[in-house]
Chains A and B, each alone.
Chain A
Amino acid sequence: QPVLTQPPSASGTPGQRVAISCSGSSSNIGSNTVNWYQQLPGTAPKLLIYDTNQRPSGVPDRFSASKSGTSASLAISGLQSEDEADYYCAAWNDGLDGPVFGGGTKLTVL
């Protein structure tokens, strides 16, 4: 069972704003930064957000993220068909001294 909890699915129409939640505990999200990964079909995951709300070079500013307590959220505004992918949250876990992942959210663009 994944340590972080995400909804299994989310959907939206082109142009809409969609949010994906991620819930953890004081050992991971509550005390460390959150990272988000986008996995397009048949490809490797790609770092989408790091350090809770930072975008790597090349990631559009349509993607944003935040954290509050032991929960985090990824928001995608101006939804586009190419955003259809699996999205994973992750955070360092103090007890593990390594990262833990959410189970992933499959985003469908209707």
Chain B
Amino acid sequence: QVQLQESGPGLVRASETLSLTCSVSGDSMRSYYWGWIRQPPGKGLEWIGYIYYSGSTNYNPSLKSRVTISIDTSKKQYSLKLNSVTAADTAVYYCARDRGNWGLDHWGHGTLVTVSS
């Protein structure tokens, strides 16, 4: 059973860079897409982007100018960087295995990132 776990700072200063890592266990990263989704407090889900195991990426246009997702299959990890953060980026950030049309079938527990002014 594949498991995902987010890690990274829970507090980031405004205008700085949010950095999170997702560690994958229980299955190979090969042949899958790996995504990031966020949820502001009390609000709905927003797709951030995904990366294929080979390294190709796709991002939500609303965040594209500030987002970078990278992958290290040897460590079974992938990472999210979001720069120039503001209070609007305060959210629970989830990593999840993305099966495209078949949905996000395995999720991490999520990590709350608060942007301080």
Interface residues of A (CB under 8 A from B): 2, 32-33, 35, 37, 43-47, 50-51, 56, 88, 90, 92, 96-104
- State which size class the interface on B falls in: 20 to 34
Interface residues of B (CB under 8 A from A): 44-47, 49-50, 58-61, 94, 98-105, 107-110
CB-defined A-B contacts under 8 Å, sample of 29: A2-B44, A33-B102, A35-B103, A35-B104, A37-B45, A37-B103, A37-B104, A43-B109, A45-B45, A45-B104, A46-B107, A47-B103, A47-B105, A50-B99, A50-B102, A50-B103, A51-B102, A51-B103, A92-B100, A92-B101, A98-B49, A98-B50, A99-B98, A99-B104, A101-B44, A101-B46, A101-B47, A103-B44, A104-B45
How many angstroms between the C-alpha atoms of A2 and B49 in the bound complex? 16
